Structure 1
Amino acid sequence: MNQSDNKTTRFLLADDHSLIRQGITFLLEDFKIEHELFHASNLQQLLDSVKLNPIDIAIIDAHFPDGNSLSILAELKKMRPEMKILIFTGIDENIYSLRYLNAGADGFLSKMNEEEEIERAIRKMLDSGEYISSVTQALLKSSMKNPNLINPLSSLTERELQIAEMYAEGLGNLEIAGKLDVKQNTVSTIKRRIFDKLEIENLVELIELIKNNQ
């Protein structure tokens, strides 16, 4: 995606914090390129905007009040195959960047970066349609030797994975507790730990992850 043809670049800024969107807006204004901005503060607005508008580059947070963007990346790409997606988030790049790239993102940028790196990342998205940081490059090299790095389920313990699979089969807390001969509140605690590790909010997202990674 080269910006030299003077066409208007359509950006979607998707983040539930308006200050983040405002900061990127100021940065884009400094680029002196023809651009149009669309905003979204939750997953539903994000999906609606992509469906209705020919977005060129979507800058998307990982986490929203109504869920995690990891679960909808495939759907976004299906709607707009040419659209480039930059994940711009505060979650740990070492743990999560490969998961997002594997799910369809074209770049992963930590909000912990200095402004210069954020600018460089957006310019790379404009020029080549992708941004791979030095951290993620190292992870990509490691993943060639260890493919499990791109599978989010690999972060779960054997017991956590067992319980996650039971949830995916449609079992509830009481049934799982009975099958494993543990207390129901133990199952609830492990469920919360699974959700925290996988950065998900609900069972629908868990089922989707298990379906896509096994």
Structure 2
Amino acid sequence: MKAQANYSAIVADDHELLRHGIANILEEQGNIRVVAHASDGLSAVALTKRHQPDLLTLDIAMPFAQGISVLVEVKRWSPDTRVAVFSGITSSALLRELQDAGADGIFTKRGAISEFEQAIPILLEGGKIVSSDAAEIIAKGTETAALTKRERQIISKIASGLTTKAIAKRLGISPKTVENHRSSIMSKLGVQSMAELLAYAVREGLFDVQSQL
């Protein structure tokens, strides 16, 4: 902790209006200076690495790198930076994954502004916060927890439009293994068609991101 309460922050979101809105909320605290804005995942990592801010607010669905990858890289390059994640995707699996990846704060974009405002000093002092609506989503979610890591990789690539052969090549496994995983996924989730499987993937935000860090 710093001797004086004089904190720096970076705001990362691909929507300019939201970036400025969050920046205003932070600076209204009176002891926080927003040193940079990032509009994509790669910029968020690069700017955090450069500035080593006390706080990063991070949208998990930005171009060029998905939020969890950004979170991991930020924690790698700037371990003392507190990361408050904002999600527009109300997926219990995704929110649990963010918790496991080390997010210090988890908020949904539909949540109350006042809840985030009240959480800011707690985050800066080393606490962890999960907003009330995010906590409710996490508590209710059970389906995706039954999927293995490989099955989640398969469903994300199916949802992204890859063929069985393309998925097999991407993951270094046989097309038959991909088909077996797909059957297992559908059985676990109780879905009967690809349309139902894709609808589930949309709801849970399970999409493969082409650009990697």
Aligned residues: 188
Q: Which runs of 5+ in 1 are unaligned?
A: 181-188, 209-214
Match of 1:29 in 2: 27
TM-score under structure 1 normalisation?
Answer: 0.68
* Percent of aligned positions that are identical: 23
User: Given that residues 68 and 199 in structure 1 are in contact (C-alpha distance below 8 angstroms), is that contact kept between their aligned partners in structure 2?
Assistant: no
Judged with a 3 Å threshold, the aligned counterparts in structure 2 of structure 1 residues 166 and 195 are, in CA distance, closer, same or farther, namely farther
User: Where in structure 2 are the equivalents of 1:1-214 lying within 5 Å?
Assistant: 5-92=3-90, 94-137=92-135, 148=145, 166-170=168-172, 176=175, 193=198, 196=202, 197-202=205-210
- The alpha carbon displacement at 1:61 in A equals 0.3
Comparing 63-72 with 105-114, which one deviates more in the overlay?
Answer: 63-72
Distance verdict in 2 for CA 1:153–1:106, change over 3 Å: farther
CA distance in 2, matches of 1:10, 1:59: 11
User: Does the 8 A contact of 1:6 with 1:33 survive in 2?
Assistant: no
| Larger fraction in helix | 1
Mark the CA change 1:71 to 1:91 in structure 2 (over 3 Å): closer, same or farther: same
Q: Distance in 2 between matches of 1:69 and 1:109?
A: 13
**1:153: Cα distance to partner?**
6.1
Cα distance, 1:67 vs structure 2: 3.0
Give, in whole Å, the separation in 1 of the partners of 2:8 and 2:96: 26
Structure 2, gaps ≥5 residues long: 180-193
How does the TM-score come out when normalised to structure 2?
0.68
One-letter amino acid matched to 2:57: I
Deviation at 1:168, TM superposition (A): 4.2
Residue identity matched to 2:14: D
Q: Does the 8 Å contact 1:15/1:42 carry over to 2?
A: yes
In 1, Cα distance between the equivalents of 2:115 and 2:134?
Answer: 14
Note the alpha carbon deviations across 1:14-46, whole angstroms, 9 max, x for none: 011111111112212221114242111111211
